[in-house]
Amino acid sequence: MLTVIEDLLSKKEVTQFTQALDKGQWQDGKHTAGSQASKVKYNQQLDDSSALANELRNIVIRKLSSHPLFMSAALPSKIYPPKFNRYQGGEHYGLHVDASIMPLPNSHQMLRTDLSATLFLTEPGAYEGGELSIETQFGLQQIKLSAGSVILYPANSLHQVNPVNRGVRTASFFWIESLVRTNDQRSTLFDLDQSIQALTVDRGSNDPEVKRLSGVYHNLMRSWASC
């Protein structure tokens, strides 16, 4: 399941992010790549240890944690602290699958990468190329969203960032460990939750069928969730 979350950041917030990132300390993206990824990764990343990275990642996490569509689609247990990257002058990230398990920074905990996410910080018309290409069961999906919007997709997907041949593509990226491990189960719960929300608006929360479906949702969560 691919889920687009539009306007996680407002246009004003995007401008504030990009102005701050223009002054950030950038380094070769290979420094944070594994042995396999380093062979296909050509980009720059913001220094994770900088005060700027910490400030911006905290804003992203606060926005995600209060966004109903993100919470419904991801059912997050843990969120990897967001990172920031940029591509220009033909830089790209070749076909790869994200690592399945990652250590959480400044913690003894590990995170299982159920979902990957990209928050676009540059308007699509400002750069050429740079699509996030994801191989799905329905074929290749080319993703290039408006600045401030997020794409969520299964972390076990083969994906790549196409070469940026003009302009600069800046984004934030991160991973989520979900309370529900499998994509099919998350998709079922998401569809059910969206239907319950629509029926609640139409019929009210005290409608017997709304209550019945809410019970089904929570019983499935009780059965499928690991926490």
Annotated binding site for Fe cation: 96, 98, 159
Measured CA to CA, the distance from residue 155 to residue 204 in angstroms comes to 36
Q: Residues within the annotated binding site?
A: 96, 98, 159, 169
Helix (H) or strand (E) holding 111: strand 110-112
Measured CA to CA, the distance from residue 172 to residue 62 in angstroms comes to 14
Q: How far apart are the first and last CA of the chain?
A: 22
Contacts of 29 (CB under 8 A, 6+ apart): 41, 42, 43, 44, 45, 85, 93
C-beta of residue 166 within 8 angstroms of C-beta of residue 155: no
C-beta of residue 140 within 8 angstroms of C-beta of residue 133: yes
How buried is residue 125: exposed, middle or buried, by Cβ count under 10 Å (0-12/13-18/19+)? Answer: exposed
Report in angstroms the alpha-carbon separations of 221 from 39, 68, 107, 217, 225. Answer: 40, 17, 28, 6, 5
Q: Residues within the annotated binding site for 2-oxoglutarate?
A: 169
C-beta of residue 111 within 8 angstroms of C-beta of residue 211: no
Measured CA to CA, the distance from residue 162 to residue 95 in angstroms comes to 9
